[in-house]
Amino acid sequence: MHFKALCKALVLPCAKRRALTKSAFSDSGTPLKRHLLVSKTLLIMRFMAFLLLGAILQVSAKSNAQSVTLTVKDAPLEQVFRAIRQQTGYSFVYNDRLMKNTKSVTLQVTQAPLDEVLQVCFKNQPLTYAIVDKIIVVKPKETPKLEEAPASPVPPGDIQGFVTSENGPIAGASVVIKRTKEGVSTNGKGEFKISGVNEDDILVISSIGYQNQEVPVKGKKGFVLVTLKIAVNQLDELHVLAYGGMTSRRLSTGSVARVSGEDIAKQPVNNVLQALEGRVAGMSISQTSGIAGADVTFNIRGQNSLSANAYTAAPLVIIDGTVYPGIPINLPSESGTASSLTNGNIGYGSTLYNLNPSDIESIEVLKDADATAIYGARAANGVLLVTTKKGKQGKTKVDINAYSGVALNVRRVELLNTDQYRALRKEAFGNAGVTPDAINAPDLFLWDSTKSTDWQKELAGQVAHTNDANLSMSGGNNGTSFLISGNYHDENTIFIDRRGSSKGGAHFSVTNISTNGRFGVSLTGMVNFTNTTLPVNTFANSAFTLPSNWQPYDTAGNLIWTWNNNNPYALLKQKYSSKTLALTSNLNIRYSILPGLDAKVSIGYTRMDADQHQIQPQQSYSPAYWSFIKGYHYIYSNRYQSLSVEPQLQLVHNIAKGKLDVLAGSTIMKNTDETPFYALASNFSSDAYINNWALAGTFTATTGYNAYQYASFFSRANYNWDNKYILNASFRRDGSSRFGPNHRFGNFGAVAGAWLFSKEKFAQNLGPISFGKLRGSIGWVGSDNVDNYAYFSNYSSYFATYSGASGLIPSRLDNPDFRWESTSKLEGALELGFLKDRILFTAAWFRNRTANQLVGYPVSGQAGFTSYTANLNAAVVENKGWELELNTINVQSKNFRWTTSFNITLPQNKLLKFDGIEKTSYASNLVVGKPLNSIFAVHFTGVDSNGKAQYQDANKNGTIDFYSGLATYGKGDKIYVGKGYANCFGGITNTISYKGFQLDFTFQYTQGLLKKSYLGSTNRPGDMYNLPVKTVQYYRDKGLAKSMITSSFSADWMNYIFYSDAPYEDASFIRLTNAALSYNVGEKVLKASHLAAARVYLQAQNLFVIANYHGFDPESGGVNVPPLLRVVGGIQVSF
């Protein structure tokens, strides 16, 4: 179950309820005088209650074709309730106490309507009932005493009630007397009791995620039944916060972005992160490859750390309250081994690939100090809260969804054909003054000059296929709900060998709230496996660089190695496989100690096992160049486990016109990353034995173990005064085993406030403005993203042996002095709604500053290592910017609805301060006042009369110095030419629905960043590699053909490509990232086929890119497989 739902569930405890039965319905102390008046009033009230009840019953009767078959004799009423529940799926809500005076029931009915059966059951009971949706609320009949009560002015009285919705009873809903602004919350079963209510009072019932409702108490006989409608307004949509907190866009004090499961479901992605692209302001995501399972790196609000390591900058990922490894568990820093097994196609692999996108209810991205500070030291890079789907009270529902489709690379490159290639090679030998022969130029002498193959098409131009299926079952009644689902997904590649990945898993969630609402328990879990089989390296590199007249096999069918000792077809003989199994589980137990005071404990356990194999038989190596290789078989196993226990106390109390919500708790967490073994078996006498390690001539193995402990206290206090002024404060004290004894603990916290000024009197005449809020937050969060044990000196095991013995080597350059990195976050935002909230606009400004940077401080290798962990006290990094969001309902009519959501992020990143930078290694690539990922290069100015490239002598010392450093520091000639991150990025999503049809499409855009074009990712023209036609033409157009098209080493070419600004190009782009068209089958057909819902759809990812960039792909940059065009068709059925 949902953490926060549980929080709410137990708010109103029993002690108060006991009082309720005593006073609310037996008001015996009323003076006789008032009898007449009261009795008149009561008559009216009774009449109204009757009307109301009648209306409710009528409403329920409509949807209530339920019938009951029952034979009981002298059965207790509760037993009859159970029988009815089983037959109809309707649940009963009642107080145990009420059952005490009930009479037994004798009944014999067959196929009788539910209402009739109930009427019979209640006939002689001191009780009456009402049906709300599928819930039968049992309440006491008012006693005759009341009718005879004296007619005196009605004193403030008590009202009992029940709040429900189509999802079942609502726990934690606010019930406030409009006049006094005083209120209470509902308990775990949706019940409440409020005192001090006058006869003319109106109760305002609200709950986050639902539309408010006002209920006059007049005529309600001391009992109200409220059915809240789920908010369709984006302002009131539920947002999940840390530790079960929840808010809505209307009431939030911090910056939280939400992507719903429905938005995710429209995108046929294999990694849920891809579904967030273009949808979350401030979040940048990049796919490193279009292959399933590949690394996807992401950051929230820019790069905070000087070290550009995507993994140390990774946000914290929490799934249903449990920490999930957001970074690959086989990274050396995680696994505790000195090295790791990576794959040329997918890198380390993304752990989030394990998740099944269909299991996700929502993803909340927590950005500012207010939203993140409660996670303290782990929050500096932002937090990703993943909430999985949960079962809902009601009839059991089965949902089936399946799709199938294709993926292909549409960003092809025009490469040289054989004639063009041979001409280029000859030109290159001529320029180098070298005579080509059969050894240094087999391509010119030995290869078939009449053949011309498009290797791009051959090796990496296939159409990949993908299939996906999901089945889920959910439902629940009487305080218990459940969900079980299973999924399967497979996908192959665009490569010649078609190997690929499959994954699947199961997800479950069970929740129970005790009958009295005080005790709640929920267990959620997911088990997911992935099975990926790929070549060890990518075909994509060869696809662009293999000369077109090359051939893979000789006439005898053996691999040919004359292309630089390489033959991509050898990859067919090699195999990389990765199998992972991930379990995430969370157990929540909650007990209501007192009214408004809950104790809870959340226990999270995550485990992920990964087994990787890399098999490279002798036959897959050039027998000339790698003659000594007699087969390799790497086996790398990893096991990640995280166990956390988080006891918490929560107090919800109404003070004056406000509601105070205080949470205090602690976290004890231990993560271990083990490498049970990392082994290399080699020197097999035959490739046939490569799977049998016992037959390896050499077998070396190492193990790894990394443990990380974490202990903290945290607290959060939220005070909401009349939904007008909201104050939120959080504090956390964190202790981490990654720091030395003197630096182990750190304090973090935040304060935030929101003012809903549209609720002020002055704002009532603001014309079209229907909602207005100002909010702001300030806080400090931290980071301990460094290697374990880095503070003390130790040795670690080592792959290599000497004379049969294994040894240890020093692990690192230790440093006992480093401490917490700290980031201060500041945010201010204006949120507006226009035209009854049809237009919603948010402008947020943020500024994050990171100091005491924890970095791998680079040093010259002379220190024994090339870096060590340290704080950079002198440096401060600033990320600031604007995030604007606009959501509009453009058209809304009965059959036609068109909505648009647009977001834009304008980030600014810079090195704010770095005292004495010129004396550090950072002077080679950083300048104070410039962005962290600035591009510094020597400026290319043109060519001289000999066709040699000329450059700007920026430091005016008479020579061009490519290597020494930046002109700013007078060390070299490199100047600032641009930056690697965007001036702005974002997306725009349109949703258009007409009758049963719905069309969604999302454009994603990025503007104002530089990336290297083809030039930077291809080979030297003139070497034995093919090139894009444009690259060669480029050199000629620039007049560089003579100096750069050469068959031997040319510093000219190297400096031009690697140290000058020439290959950089604007990589701005607009991409149609997603388009989805679906049709919902109409009611008539559904009824005829006994279905609850049915939908057919067509979805596509990465449809096209508009860019001026001359490279493989403006997002993935290099030669890797770019994000693929993916088209799928599917069907979804519910019953």
Q: Which are the contacts of 695, defined by CB distance < 8 A and separation ≥ 6?
A: 684, 685, 689
Q: Which residues, including other chains, have CB under 8 Å from residue 919's CB and lie 6 or more apart?
A: none
Restricting to residues 421-480, which ones interact with another protein according to CB under 8 A?
439-440
The residues near 958 (Cβ < 8 Å, ≥ 6 apart) are none
Q: CB of 1026 within 8 A of CB of 944? A: no
Closer residue to another protein, CB minimum distance, 156 or 864:
864
Which residues share a beta bridge with 1066? 1010
Binding-site size, another protein (CB under 8 A): 89
Nearer to another protein by Cβ, of 168 and 704: the residue is: 704
Any contact of residue 802 with another protein (CB under 8 A)? yes
* Segment contacting another protein by CB under 8 A, of 165-173, 518-526, 845-853, 859-867: 859-867
Applying CB under 8 A, among 455, 495, 636, 868 the residue interacting with another protein is: 868
Of 671 and 770, the one with the shorter C-beta distance to another protein is: 671
Q: Which residues contact 753 (CB under 8 A, 6 or more apart)?
A: 253, 725, 726, 727, 728, 775, 776, 777
State the minimum distance, in angstroms, from the CB of residue 278 to another protein: 37
Select 353 or 561, whichever has its Cβ closest to another protein. Answer: 561
**Footprint on residues 289-328 left by another protein (CB under 8 A):** none
Please calculate the CA angle 135-140-146 and round it to the nearest 5 degrees. Answer: 145
Task: Measure the CA–CA gap between 4 and 387, rounded to whole angstroms.
Answer: 11
Distance CA 241, CA 482 (A): 23
* Contact with another protein (CB under 8 A) among 435, 764, 803, 945: 803
At which residue do the structure tokens 């070298």 appear?
A: 434
Which residue has tokens 């296929």? 465
Residue 919 contacts another protein per CB under 8 A: yes
666 is an interface residue for another protein by CB under 8 A: yes
101 lies in the site for another protein, by CB under 8 A:
no
Q: Does 664 bind another protein (CB under 8 A)?
A: yes
Of the listed pieces 80-88, 393-401, 626-634, 901-909, which binds another protein according to CB under 8 A? 626-634
- Minimum Å gap between C-beta 1048 and another protein is 5
Binding segment toward another protein, per CB under 8 A, in 168-176, 525-533, 856-864, 902-910: 856-864
Q: For 288-393, where are the E strands, in sequence order?
A: 296-300, 316-319, 322-324, 360-366, 383-388
Cα separation, 493 vs 391, whole angstroms:
36
Instruction: Fill in the per-residue mask, 688 to 707: x = in contact with another protein (CB under 8 A), - = not in contact.
Output: ---------xx---xxxxxx
CB of 616 to another protein, least distance (A): 16
Answer whether 193's CB lies under 8 Å from 159's CB.
yes
**Does 69 contact another protein by CB under 8 A?**
no
Residues 6+ apart with CB under 8 A from 317: 323, 324, 325, 326, 352, 383, 384, 386
Residue 949 vs 1067, nearer CB to another protein: 949
Min dist. Cβ of residue 629 to another protein (A): 9
Strands 296-300 and 394-408, by their bridges, are unpaired
Binding status of residue 797 toward another protein by CB under 8 A? yes
Report the C-alpha gap between 975 and 935 in whole angstroms: 8
Nearest distance from C-beta of residue 702 to another protein, angstroms: 8
> 73 in helix, strand or coil?
strand
Per CB under 8 A, does 625 bind another protein? yes
Residue 235 one-letter amino acid: L
Does residue 811 bind another protein (CB under 8 A)? yes
Please give the structure tokens belonging to residue 460: 């990496």
Instruction: Return the residue of 64, 198, 709, 1134 that touches another protein, per CB under 8 A.
Output: 709
Residues in 532-571 at the binding interface with another protein, rule: CB under 8 A: none
Provide, rounded to whole angstroms, the least separation between the CB of residue 734 and another protein. Answer: 10
Q: How far apart are CA 38 and CA 17, in angstroms?
A: 25
Tokens representing residue 47 in the block: 């009449």
Cβ proximity of 727 and 718 under 8 Å: yes
What secondary structure letter does DSSP report for 710?
A: E
Closer Cβ to another protein, 65 or 556, answer by number: 556
Q: Does 808 interact with another protein (rule: CB under 8 A)?
A: yes
Out of 735, 749, 856, 1111, the residue judged to bind another protein by CB under 8 A:
735
Nearest residue (CB) to another protein, 624 versus 694 = 624
Which of the 8 DSSP states describes residue 150?
Answer: -
Write down the least CB distance from residue 695 to another protein, Å: 12
* Position 604 contacts another protein (CB under 8 A): no
Beta carbon of residue 697, minimum distance to another protein (angstroms, whole number):
4
Q: How far is the CB of 672 from another protein (least distance, A)?
A: 8
Per CB under 8 A, does 512 bind another protein? no
Q: What does the per-residue mask of binding to another protein show for 670-689, with x meaning CB under 8 A?
A: --x--x-------x------
Does residue 923 belong to the site contacting another protein (CB under 8 A)? yes
Q: Which residue shows structure tokens 């079952």?
A: 473
If one asks whether residue 668 binds another protein (CB under 8 A), the answer comes out as yes
Determine the Cα angle at 804 with ends 798 and 810, to 5°: 25
Shortest distance (Å) from residue 783 CB to another protein: 17
Instruction: List CB contacts of 21: < 8 A, sequence separation 6 or more.
Output: 95, 97, 98, 140
**Shortest distance, CB of residue 594 to another protein, whole angstroms?**
6
Three-state secondary structure of 250-305: CCCCCCEEEEEHHHHHCCCCCCHHHHHCCCCCCEEEEECCCCCCCCEEEEECCCCC
Q: Is 643 in the site for another protein (CB under 8 A)?
A: no
Can you tell me which of 649, 766, 912, 1086 binds another protein, judged by CB under 8 A?
649
Q: Which of 235, 402, 523, 597 binds another protein (CB under 8 A)?
A: 597
Positions in 1018-1077 near another protein (CB under 8 A): 1020, 1023, 1047-1049, 1051, 1054, 1058
CA 19, CA 817: separation in Å to the nearest integer? 60
Is 713 near another protein (CB under 8 A)?
yes
Residue whose CB is less far from another protein, 439 or 1088: 439
815: how many CB neighbours lie within 10 A of its CB? 17
Across the strands, what pairs with 520? 513, 590
DSSP letters for 203-227: EEEE-TTB--EEEE-TTSTTEEEEE
The residue (of 162 and 447) whose beta carbon lies closer to another protein is 447
Stretch that binds another protein, among 178-186, 450-458, 718-726, 808-816 (CB under 8 A): 808-816
- Window 576-595: contact mask with another protein (x via CB under 8 A): -----------------xxx
Among 28, 764, 862, 959, binds another protein (CB under 8 A): 862
Tell me: does residue 626 bind another protein (CB under 8 A).
Answer: yes
Q: Kindly tell me which of 688 and 1085 has the beta carbon lying closer to another protein.
A: 688
Residues 924-983 that bind another protein (CB under 8 A): 924, 963-965
Nearest to 425 by CA among 449, 452, 444: 444
Closest by Cα among 197, 195, 221, 192 to 207: 192
Residues 191, 12: contact at Cβ < 8 Å? yes
Alpha carbons 217 and 199: distance in angstroms, whole number: 6
Q: Which two tokens stand for residue 439?
A: 């050894």
The residues, ordered by sequence, that sit 6+ positions from 956 with a Cβ below 8 Å of its Cβ are none
Closest CB 1019 distance from another protein, rounded Å: 10
Our finding on whether 721 is near another protein (CB under 8 A) is no
In the bound complex, what is the minimum distance in angstroms from residue 1040's beta carbon to another protein? 18
Stretch 741-780 residues interacting with another protein (CB under 8 A): 744
